[in-house]
Chain A
Amino acid sequence: MNTQKVISGFFIIMAMTLNFGFFYGDIDKFAHHSPYELFVAIVVNLIATILKLGDKTQVGSVLLATSLVADIQLLAAAIVWGVSLYVLSGGIQNYAQVIVSLSGGALLANIVSVIIFVGDTLKSKR
């Protein structure tokens, strides 16, 4: 058993599951989308990104790219949330769809990341 693989696998998959957890639910109902889950999803995504740093292989670079996409989308969602709540006057309800669909984009990136990760693991003979 490879401890390194366990840890990175854990964070990569958890980044996807948390992302899905936040995304799942009616797109315009805030009750279905917990800010805590978004926060944890961002943190876990960032950790997953850093774990992917430094891998110089082709697969490693693509993995890092997917993670960066997910990070940017989730951070964008959080920023939209914060700005709509405190700065803009329109009220947060109008922005629910934007926030959730941004996290949906991040989810796709995370799914790609997990597929590559699993594929790479299956290919490995050790």
Chain B
Amino acid sequence: MRTPLLVIILTFSITIIGLVLIPGVDGNGNPYHMSFLDAVYFVSFMASTIGFGEVPYEFTYAQRLWVLFSIYISVIGWFYAIGALVALIQDKNLILELDVAKFRKKIKNLKEHFVIILGYNHATKELINRLNRDGKRIVVLDKSQEKIDELELEHFMPEVYGLRANVETPEVLRLAGIKKRNCKAVITLFDNDYKNTKIALLVKLLNNKVNIIVKSSTKEQTQHLKNLGIKNIIDPFHLIANRFYLAVSAPHLWILEQMLFGHDLYMHEHESLPNGKYVVCGYGRMGKALQESLNKSNTDCSFIDLKSAKHKAQKNSAIYGDAEDYQSLIDAGVEDAAAIIAATKDDLINLTILLTAKKINPDIYTIGRENTIDDVTIFQSAKIDRVYILEEIISEFAHRIISQPLTHQFLQIIHKKDDEWGKELIDKLKQKTCYNPEIFELRVVKSQAYALTEYLKNGNSINLGLLSRDLSDRKQRAKIHILMVKNRKEEITILPDENYCVKVSDRFLIAASEEARENFELLVNNVNEFEYITTGKELKFGLIRQLLEKN
């Protein structure tokens, strides 16, 4: 960058000094010397090719000869310098450097809690959408500029900060603010297990306090990550297999799990899995996970070892269903099977497997694995009985871990219980709330429960029985049921009874009807309503009434 600037200074100073030194003639024919101001003025518009003409007086031939020379050196010098400057502005490295500087500044000014998401793809996009609705701040890193441009085009509110960078280097993670105190979680959901483990380890070393959410796709990998001390591991195949197991052998627990995702308290007819023989196409990571849960529930099953990549290479098409495939389905026993599961890595192959199986056996129950969210409409129109969307499951779980940690914990507790427990709880919930309760979390802190926190801080105590009274009539119970409490010392009480004494900083997981939820949130925040529930008296509000009361 020095040379262009030097060229400008030199050409300008040479031409200016020449103009000042060469004698000219003014309007009356008297000799004169150009002043510096005139010379600078003239050269400035000459070099930039604006050209206002000969000022202040018409030039003599001696001056014109000099100007002729000057034009060539100064105009060339000017264009060279401008060209170099424009090239510099367009330089890719410089742009990246500027982006990094801007990004660093944004991260520095970020005061709220935030989450770092590594890699921008369908799953993380879905996750960003969910987290954004909760008002969480997000930082995204991706290797490719295209992805970052895509992210910027989405115009998330509040803004999601994105940067193109290689996420596997500690420098980049530090740049994204991993060492900041308000960085709450790092999420790495790549398809590549090795990459995920490497990042998880890096993050762990850089900041031990941050919450790491890692995707893993095999049991060995999960064990590996657990050994590293990572708690939040999302194995989509394990999750699906587990759900599948629950659906087959513990339908009430299945309903409870689905309830946490917004399902109602009944199992609909098309949702219940049939009894009988299962055929699984694809014996990869998902096939193996399913085998385990099918064996655990003593279900008769057979497998077709189908590799999507190999199939595509051999048959030269992404469609399953020629005569040979037809035969292999019949060999696996599709004709008298109760259900078929298509679990390969390719959506089109999965779809054609299910359609072919339906041709052989029209009554068969079809279950498909859908790899990307994009294909959702195809699966819907193909009328598949049950679809497991990998990316959606991953983003759902990651969202839950960050935004609703209690729900996530409750889910893990459910998995350890038996169906009898689930049936009891569902009956209780149906009786005490409604058939499709909303699940929400509440922490006893000022920002979430003002009145309740103030009341407890003043040395009073209140139990859950009193707290779950109805606002319109305190003798009645509200349609609300507390599922779980986690106190300040992280101790968990499942299904606390009415005598449980509420403490400051307790976190509650609550099931309630829509109306009861609104009322409850009003109750714990509004001092007047709270007074009514605790004492049965309407609090007098307004200055005049308070004065009247005193006198």
Q: Show the binding face of A for B, using Cβ within 8 Å.
A: 35-36, 39-40, 43, 46-47, 50-51, 53-54, 78, 82, 85-86
How many residues of chain B get a CB closer than 8 Å to chain A's CBs?
A: 13
Chain A: interface secondary structure? helix
Chain B min CB distance to A29 (Å): 19
- B residues lining the A interface (CB < 8 Å): 1-2, 5-6, 9-10, 13, 16-17, 20, 35-37
Complex CA gap A36/B13 in Å reads: 11
New A-B contacts (16) at CB < 8 Å, excluding given A36-B17, A50-B5, A53-B5: A35-B36, A39-B13, A39-B16, A39-B17, A40-B13, A46-B9, A47-B10, A51-B2, A53-B1, A54-B1, A54-B2, A82-B36, A82-B37, A85-B35, A85-B37, A86-B37
Residues of A within 8 A of B2 (CB): 50-51, 53-54
Across-interface contacts of A78 in B (CB, < 8 A): 36
Q: How far is the CA of A120 from the CA of B371 in the complex (A)?
A: 65
A35 CA to B5 CA in the complex, in Å?
24
Q: Give the residues in chain B near A35, CB-CB below 8 Å.
A: 36
**CA distance in complex: A35, B35 (Å):** 10
Taking CB as reference atom, which chain A residue is nearest B3?
A: A50
A-B contacts at CB below 8 angstroms, number: 32
Residues of chain B within 8 A of A39, CB atoms compared: 13, 16-17, 20, 36
Q: Which residues on the B side are within 8 Å of A46 (C-beta)? A: 9
Query: Which residues of chain B are near A82, meaning CB under 8 Å?
Result: 36-37
- Give the residue name and chain of the A residue nearest to B40 (CB): A82
Q: Which residues of chain B come closer than 8 Å to A36, judged between CB atoms?
A: 17, 20
Measured between beta carbons, the chain B residues less than 8 angstroms from A50 are 2, 5-6, 9
Q: What is the CA–CA distance of A53 and B2 in the complex, to the nearest angstrom?
A: 7
Q: Which residue of B lies closest to A79 (CB)?
A: B37
Bound-complex Cα distance A35 to B40 (A): 13
Question: What's the minimum C-beta distance from A30 to chain B, rounded to whole angstroms?
Answer: 14
* A54 to B2 Cα, complex, angstroms: 9
Given contacts A39-B16, A39-B17, A54-B1, A47 and B6 within 8 Å (CB-CB): yes
Q: Which residue of A lies closest to B4 (CB)?
A: A50
A-chain residues with CB within 8 Å of residue B13 when the two chains form the complex: 39-40, 43
Cα A51 to Cα B2 with chains together (Å): 7
Contacts of B20 in A (CB 8 A): 36, 39
Contact B37 A43 (CB under 8 A): no
Interchain CA distance A43-B36 in the complex, whole Å = 13
Question: Chain A's nearest CB lies how many Å from the CB of B13?
Answer: 4
Query: How distant is the Cα of A77 from the Cα of B230 in the complex, in angstroms?
Result: 68
| Chain A: minimal CB distance from B322 (Å) | 67
Chain B residues with CB under 8 Å of A47's CB are: 6, 9-10
In the complex, which residues of chain A have a beta carbon less than 8 angstroms from the beta carbon of B37? 82, 85-86
Q: How far is the CB of A88 from chain B (nearest CB, A)?
A: 13
6 nearest A-B residue pairs (beta carbon)? A43-B13, A82-B37, A50-B5, A46-B9, A50-B2, A50-B6
- Quote the shortest CB–CB distance from B16 to chain A (angstroms): 7
State the CA gap A108–B1 with chains docked (Å): 28
- Across the interface, which residues of A come within 8 angstroms of B9, CB to CB? 43, 46-47, 50
Question: How far does the Cβ of A108 sit from chain B's closest Cβ, in whole Å?
Answer: 23
Q: Which residues of B contact A54 (CB under 8 A)?
A: 1-2
Q: Which residues of A contact B17 (CB under 8 A)?
A: 36, 39-40
CA A46 – CA B17 in complex, angstroms? Answer: 15
B126 to chain A, nearest CB (A): 44
Cα-based distance from A78 to B13 in the complex (angstroms): 14
Neighbouring B residues of A86 by C-beta, 8 Å: 37
